[in-house]
Structure 1
């Protein structure tokens, strides 16, 4: 029998489901969007193994474990990764992975991926208007989409038990709340959960296990009798604060889609969702869903956090230090915003850092009591009192008063441990004050907020304890 340094093979097949839309960008541009989704030979979205390897390595708890499992390199030497990860392929409506280059069967779920939603974004300045060159869009994969991928961890006989535990730990980590895949992980994208996990440890020194290993196909759609089911365990995650905002709209909400319809020039955004019952998937039509993009919530909270942080420091627009300008205390130049929400840095890439506040998009089933309403607007000439030619337009908002909306915000406090303690406490206090403004109706969300849309009231729960509740009396 041939000798191998790593006779132990820990194999796992993981099926994940997108709990929020995914942004798996191809890095290219198209006539339709600034950031199209990466697609395979069948023109279906997929997740590259390199993307999975990167987020898994970053999620491992220690640098020593990262180097042991996924390799290292230095000027004097290096070692390759022991963890082998395949691409993550999409599942069809029957729960089968679409892998290989053979023509695929017609499937209503797969047909839906030919045209994916395009999210519109606009960077809003401190004056409440879109900033120059602040408009962009990106294509996203639908919430509820399922992907399947394989992992294999090789190890020596002496490390058999520890490597087995390490692979199971990776599966547990993928199922954790702080794990995100793809881009936009700090603005509501990338949250996943494990819906199915299969696992097996093989010793290639045993003839029957070697035969079983050789019989395993690399095709994700092929079944393999060697797998046994595994249920992910709840792990002790890095220190974090979890806020749960329970909101109720006062009346109308309007999160613009950037497009109109047959009734109005501008309408609120909706989005399809995939819903699974067992191994069968169905598509919920966009008209049955209401979307509250986390990017809108993040932007509003970021600006209000800057206000409260400046207030703590005694900074006001009419009371600036000598030689200072407003721009020195807003956006990513604001201490709290830079610390919690990250910075873009310079064009060279220096000085950039990602945020430590995680959001998740809110995609809720349209309530039966919700009603669409078209508001007609016209600009009046201030001198004649008549309508300005060409200035008539309409907006379609949704009336959803008293409908309960739950929004989750997580702060990765472990990533803030190296920062100045006083600065962290001040920034977190400013963020909590901004959340209270939101739940008290003082911070509207979405578009047309100066026309009465987007006001909410509600309560805030921090790590299971209620810290604020708006009293409507």
Structure 2
């Protein structure tokens, strides 16, 4: 026997071969519910952040790594543990196992139809735009679809039931729209869902099923194959609500417009468009006005700073909730926002153009060439359906004093004391609350609070006002420590 043969024989014995006895293939069609930014990192792009594209077909590319990171983080929060073997070992584990879950890259079903958004950082003191802080993004429009494919490998010595249950939990999060993709996920971008699933299971200990798996056309679609609405039933596992170890405070409220609203859109629809138009986004093939998560989050943060500075000195609570500002902190000290602010579609509105002109403060006369027009959205009274929109906030791992701060912010929005959008100094951006449901989940227990106000002239109807008052009292104690 030669030295080469001995080397190969020794290497073969040292390998840790995986003895795979079963393969499960799962497919689903991912549908985007809100605009999504899957950044390419191209520094030469005309926008600050361009979309990741397939170089051949010009379709959007959703990498398997992005999907894996999103569902892994969801499963970690759901189980309150990072010990799941579904994604293999951690980077800190020198002898970590390979992930048994294979997630393919996905290419959008249609050519990219981009939506451009721009934003700017607002100074919390002057309430004006900071210089050189403007940015623009290229987003995928809501409604874009991606065919996803997952493949789970079951080894002989592995805990099959645990792996399948973990996968069912993660895919259930995708089905219910609880997992977002791309950047700025905590500001309303990247929300998505999956309607139904297709599942194939191959027992590799059976000769015929081994052949079936080898002949399986992974790149083909099977529109006539049976589908399942619930992934847990398709995988024959049972999921218990008690397994959900997440802690959160969700605020789901309905607002109407008490005054015109104008959130500036950086992209004019045509050359004849007004100088400033309200931000709109495409939903189900139709352009609809929206209240963006970035705009609302900025307004909430500035008002939260004002509240904390008024009642105490402990301002660290702001960064704990809204995340840290990289311009003031080192990267090692950066904190991600724990507050998720979703984007809201405003239903049943009307657009009106208003002409304005700048006034010379010295002479009191009009400035030459300073005529401009704006197109805010207005509330529209309808016998069937009035103007309304849903506003959704979610705070992860909340403390009682943090919930108290959110309640104060909600009160300011509800009463119109906290305007949103631009030109608030001339009366725009006031909201009026109609109803709210607050869901608090801590230590496996859920508590629900409701507030209803049928009209601005009527009193609030609160199901448990004393408990809500305790959260605000906790805030006062926290900031005055």
Aligned equivalents of 1:468, 1:436: Cα separation in 2: 13
Aligned equivalents of 1:122, 1:468: Cα separation in 2: 35
Aligned equivalents of 2:120, 2:230: Cα separation in 1: 41
Judge conservation of contact 1:457–1:470 (CA < 8 Å) in 2: no
Deviations 1:100-125 (A, max 9, x none): xxxxxxxxxx4xx24x1111111111
1:142 aligned onto 2:152: no
Following TM superposition, by how much is the alpha carbon of 1:91 offset from its aligned partner in structure 2, in angstroms?
A: 2.7
Deviations 1:401-458 (A, max 9, x none): 5511111111112xx5xxxxxxx33332122101110011101111111111111111
Following TM superposition, by how much is the alpha carbon of 1:177 offset from its aligned partner in structure 2, in angstroms?
A: 4.9
Q: Which residue of 2 aligns with 1:335?
A: 316
| Structure 1 residue corresponding to 2:260, chosen from 248, 252, 257 | 252
Aligned equivalents of 1:145, 1:379: Cα separation in 2: 42
Q: 1:335 to 1:178 in 2, by over 3 A?
A: farther
Following TM superposition, by how much is the alpha carbon of 1:339 offset from its aligned partner in structure 2, in angstroms?
A: 1.0
Judge conservation of contact 2:72–2:170 (CA < 8 Å) in 1: no
Q: 1:364 to 1:381 in 2, by over 3 A?
A: closer
1:70 aligned onto 2:88: yes
Map 1:108-257 onto structure 2 (within 5 A): 110=111, 113-114=112-113, 116-126=114-124, 127-158=126-157, 159-219=159-219, 221-223=220-222, 229=228, 231-232=230-231, 236=241, 237=244, 238-257=246-265
Q: Which residue of 2 aligns with 1:105?
A: none
Q: Rg: which structure is higher?
A: 2
1:449 aligned onto 2:428: no
Following TM superposition, by how much is the alpha carbon of 1:77 offset from its aligned partner in structure 2, in angstroms?
A: 2.3
Aligned equivalents of 1:152, 1:297: Cα separation in 2: 39
Judge conservation of contact 1:172–1:235 (CA < 8 Å) in 2: no
| Structure 2 residue corresponding to 1:268, chosen from 278, 283, 286 | 278
SS at structure 2 position matched to 1:46 = strand
Tell me whether 254-263 or 436-445 shows the greater mean CA deviation.
254-263
1:460 aligned onto 2:436: yes
Judge conservation of contact 2:252–2:392 (CA < 8 Å) in 1: yes
Aligned equivalents of 1:4, 1:265: Cα separation in 2: 64
Map 1:399-418 onto structure 2 (within 5 A): 399-401=378-380, 402-413=386-397, 416=398
Aligned equivalents of 2:225, 2:431: Cα separation in 1: 53
Aligned equivalents of 2:164, 2:320: Cα separation in 1: 38
SS at structure 1 position matched to 2:194 = strand
1:433 aligned onto 2:441: no
Q: Runs of 5+ in structure 2 lacking a partner?
A: 1-16, 233-238, 381-385, 440-447, 458-481
Judge conservation of contact 1:200–1:228 (CA < 8 Å) in 2: no
Q: Which residue of 2 aligns with 1:107?
A: none
Q: 1:84 to 1:225 in 2, by over 3 A?
A: farther
Judge conservation of contact 1:10–1:164 (CA < 8 Å) in 2: no
| Structure 2 residue corresponding to 1:371, chosen from 323, 343, 350 | 350
Q: 1:63 to 1:406 in 2, by over 3 A?
A: closer
Tell me whether 256-265 or 189-198 shows the greater mean CA deviation.
256-265
Q: 1:31 to 1:391 in 2, by over 3 A?
A: farther
Q: Which residue of 1 aligns with 2:361?
A: 382
Aligned equivalents of 1:212, 1:349: Cα separation in 2: 51
Question: Aligned pair count?
Answer: 409
Aligned equivalents of 2:392, 2:213: Cα separation in 1: 43
SS at structure 1 position matched to 2:264 = coil
Following TM superposition, by how much is the alpha carbon of 1:347 offset from its aligned partner in structure 2, in angstroms?
A: 7.3
Aligned equivalents of 1:470, 1:309: Cα separation in 2: 31
Deviations 1:102-159 (A, max 9, x none): xxxxxxxx4xx24x11111111111210112321111111112221111111122353
1:356 aligned onto 2:356: no
Following TM superposition, by how much is the alpha carbon of 1:400 offset from its aligned partner in structure 2, in angstroms?
A: 1.7
Q: Which residue of 2 aligns with 1:24?
A: 38
Following TM superposition, by how much is the alpha carbon of 1:470 offset from its aligned partner in structure 2, in angstroms?
A: 8.2
1:57 aligned onto 2:72: yes
Judge conservation of contact 1:164–1:201 (CA < 8 Å) in 2: no
Cα root mean square deviation, aligned: 2.5
TM-score, normalised by the number of residues in structure 1 = 0.80
Tell me whether 195-204 or 47-56 shows the greater mean CA deviation.
195-204
Q: Which residue of 2 aligns with 1:318?
A: none
TM-score, normalised by the number of residues in structure 2 = 0.78
Following TM superposition, by how much is the alpha carbon of 1:259 offset from its aligned partner in structure 2, in angstroms?
A: 4.0
Aligned equivalents of 1:352, 1:442: Cα separation in 2: 31
Aligned equivalents of 1:76, 1:300: Cα separation in 2: 45
Map 1:271-350 onto structure 2 (within 5 A): 271-273=281-283, 275=284, 283-284=285-286, 286=287, 289-313=288-312, 315=313, 334-345=315-326, 349-350=331-332
Deviations 1:137-190 (A, max 9, x none): 111111122211111111223533333333222211323454221110111112
Q: 1:76 to 1:141 in 2, by over 3 A?
A: closer
